[in-house]
Chain A
Amino acid sequence: MRGRGIIGLILIVVVVAAVYAYFTAVSPITRYVKEGLDLKGGVHVVLQATKPATHADMQKAETIIAYRANKLGISEPSIQLQGTNQIIVDLAGVKNQEQAIKMIGQTAQLVFKGPSGNVILTGKDLTSASASLDQNYGPIVNLQFNAEGTKLFAAATQKYLGQDISIYLDNNMIESPKVDSVISGGQAMISGGFSTLTQAQQTADLLNSGALPIPMRIIEAQTVSPTLGQDSIHASAVAILIAMALIILMMLGIYRYAGFIADIALAIYLILVVGALVAFGAVLTLPGIAGIILSAAIAVDANVIIFARIRDELRAGRTLGAAIDHGFKNALRAIMDSNVSTVIAAAVLYYFGTGEVRGFAVTLIIGILASFVTAVGITRYLLRLSEDTVLVRNQKLFLG
């Protein structure tokens, strides 16, 4: 029993050390964690409807913006409705920030107008848009109308044969071609106003996403410099390492061997939290890190409470095994009450909060669950493993 306990303990320490070594030296964990806007840099845009908007309008606008963000190559944009008429868009890691802001906020209302300014058809009558080069290598946007649009366009080209039809995007005239023939196939192209194929592609993407159901104005646009983000990440990472080292030393100093066990539990806690973040694909932000810090403090606190209780029991004259059992039992109620109320509070914050507050709530909930598993479950298991070792016979060495 004695031998097995020690071997089990050493095995766990080796595995934990190996996991840390692997995810720092071989395959840095930063590769797996999705960093949020404040850490990675990117664009933060707040859009506000310029006209009274219904909830359905806002939801549709949200979907359209998500589609556009996707076209910008942002796989997981953060898009949230705020209040009744605002949408917050965070695009982490976007490269061309100016272009991104422009593309997100554009209404993209396509209108074909007749010579007298009458509306012939709009972007709603489109099936798809695509970009290509014409025979002179000029960039163009090809339009394919739906059945209704095809009918309208055919009628219009017949009616205005020899006259001009103007094409407007968000009230800006792009071009005004003369109708040469009746077009009944439901196809048209826009050839004016694009200097590059990329620009034409972008317009095609916008048209494919559909126009925003209500015009929106950008009330806040912030580009967060990624380099700055990296700088602050580096400094924070160093600070967190120093803080961890201090906590580890402090626990060792106060609780000796039991402190060492608590340190292992803390190390496993961090693996669980980061692992869960990666598994759920959660985006890590600064408030998110704050949630991890708080739950780490609560994890350490749980061990401090448990060890204080075990000391009480030892002082009351119990044997070590009984002291560990009673210590855990007595500490558990306090830890449970604290954890449950924190999780309840975090869940409420998540439900009612926005952006920042939500990031905090998510990591706090994950962190509390992980801290309960490690600070209570794993610490207890490891203490049990070492119950019969020589170390434990010396109470001073065991618990300080």
Chain B
Amino acid sequence: MPHFDFIGHRRTWFIVSLVVLVIAVGSFFVRGLNLGIDFTGGITYNLTFQKPVSAEQLRAVLDRQHVGNSVIQLVGTETGSTSRTVLIETPSLSEQARYNLQNALTSQVGKYQITGLNKVTGTFSNELVKAGVLAVLIASLAIVIYMMIRFDFRFALTGIAAIFYDAIVTLGLVALIHFQVSQNIVPAVLIIIGYSLNDRIIIFDRIRENMRLRKRGESLKELTNRSLNQTLARSIITALVVILAMLALLIFGGATTQDLSAAILIGVVFGAYSSILFASPLWYIWVDANERATASTTRRTAKAER
């Protein structure tokens, strides 16, 4: 068993956690998420060209038409990197801009037929996200109640605080890196919260068990450190399992799931971090303060009795 002094360095870790949180929240509000047309609304074109075209050709035209943030997908790639059928998602465009874009595609890429054109309005997705956030908040309340029953309110509140920390930091870092997010961000955040919840409970369980069988004279700091070191191997192995799986999805999973796997990857790294270096020290500070208060009251009572 390793013997790292996690709790002894808690101030350092709180500063690290705080800095990360500030960067994340700052990025989220200043830089903002790079929202795809699932959220912002836009137009989806299904085009069938007479000759196969490459994504680069299309990209060049889209960039010149100032819609470089469009998504291009070649459907059923025929010869390596070209295809006759393509799907282009652009942000909302005026009639004139659409007309220009369509002409530019004809003159600079080739003749095509529009096989499908759909306007997507963004407001709906925002409502979906709002409903999702509300559902997550109610679910969190249920988790707090369960943890209060099975553990106690200090475990419950520090646990849920750390779960939100993970979700917020992940969203903030996604904003910082600024890769485009689709509706996949919803399942990604759900996975992160679920992973974070599981991780918190496994580690808190060990602290709870050690508290019950607390050795005579063992300080709270020693006990918390011992618990974290006992679970450290498990924490690392489990995080590695998920990280490996998400790396595989990120590298081989294709464009449509990249935002999903990248977000989960960030979330799991921070989930593992925050269980050990944020949630547990937070719990320690709270319980330690309580223990000191009880101890001084006992001393005072003892003195008074004498």
Chain A interface residues (CB < 8 Å from chain B): 46, 82-83, 86, 97, 219-223, 225, 227-228, 231-232, 234-236, 238-240, 242-243, 246-247, 250-251, 254, 286-287, 290-291, 293-294, 297-298, 300-301, 304-305, 308, 312, 330, 333-334, 337-338, 340-342, 344-346, 348-349, 352-357, 360, 364
Contacts and interface: CB of A to CB of B under 8 A. Distances in A.
B89 to A, nearest CB: 10
Given A304-B241, A338-B201, 17 more contacts: A219-B124, A232-B257, A236-B254, A240-B249, A243-B245, A246-B244, A286-B260, A293-B191, A294-B194, A300-B241, A330-B209, A333-B205, A337-B151, A337-B201, A346-B139, A348-B135, A356-B128
A347 to B, nearest CB: 8
Nearest to B255: A232
Contact of B233 (A234, A236, A308, A333): A308
A349 B194 CA distance: 12
Contacts of B209: 330, 333
Most buried by B among A250, A341, A344, A353: A341
Most buried by A among B118, B119, B190, B253: B190
B256 to A, nearest CB: 4
A345 B240 contact: no
B122 to A, nearest CB: 9
A225 B75 CA distance: 9
A349 B241 contact: no
A5 to B, nearest CB: 27
B197 to A, nearest CB: 6
Contact of A341 (B46, B143, B183, B233): B143
Interface in B257-296: 257, 260
A342 B118 contact: no
B118 A222 contact: yes
Interface residues of B, number: 69
25 contacts: A82-B128, A82-B131, A220-B120, A220-B121, A228-B73, A232-B257, A234-B254, A236-B253, A236-B257, A238-B252, A240-B249, A243-B246, A246-B244, A246-B248, A250-B244, A286-B260, A290-B190, A294-B195, A304-B238, A312-B230, A334-B202, A345-B143, A345-B197, A349-B139, A356-B128
Nearest to B191: A294
Given A242-B252, A349-B136, A355-B128, A364 B198 contact: no
A237 B241 CA distance: 18
A326 to B, nearest CB: 13
Interface string B128-141: 10011011101110
Contact of B244 (A82, A243, A305, A357): A243
A293 B183 CA distance: 17
Nearest to B254: A235
A98 to B, nearest CB: 8
A357 B252 contact: no
B257 A286 contact: yes
Given A305-B202, A312-B230, A349-B190, A231 B248 contact: no
B48 to A, nearest CB: 11
A165 B134 CA distance: 53
Nearest to A309: B234
Contact of A342 (B140, B198, B256): B198
Contact of B116 (A223, A247, A308): A223
A341 B135 contact: no
B104 interface: no
A219 B234 CA distance: 49
Given A254-B237, A360-B190, A334 B245 contact: no
B138 to A, nearest CB: 5
Given A231-B254, A353-B131, A342 B244 contact: no
Given A236-B249, A247-B241, A304 B234 contact: yes
Contact of A243 (B127, B138, B202, B248): B248
Contacts of A301: 198, 202, 234, 238, 241
A298 B201 CA distance: 12
Contacts of B150: 337, 341
Interface in B91-137: 116, 118-121, 123-124, 127-128, 131-132, 134-136
Given A235-B252, A242-B252, A341-B146, A298 B134 contact: no
B206 A341 contact: no
A190 to B, nearest CB: 31
B188 interface: yes
A341 B147 contact: yes
A342 B197 contact: yes
A362 to B, nearest CB: 12
A320 to B, nearest CB: 20
A250 B241 contact: yes
B251 interface: yes
A221 B191 CA distance: 28
A341 B248 CA distance: 29
Contacts of A235: 252-254, 256-257
A227 B83 CA distance: 12
Contacts of B231: 308
A269 B82 CA distance: 40
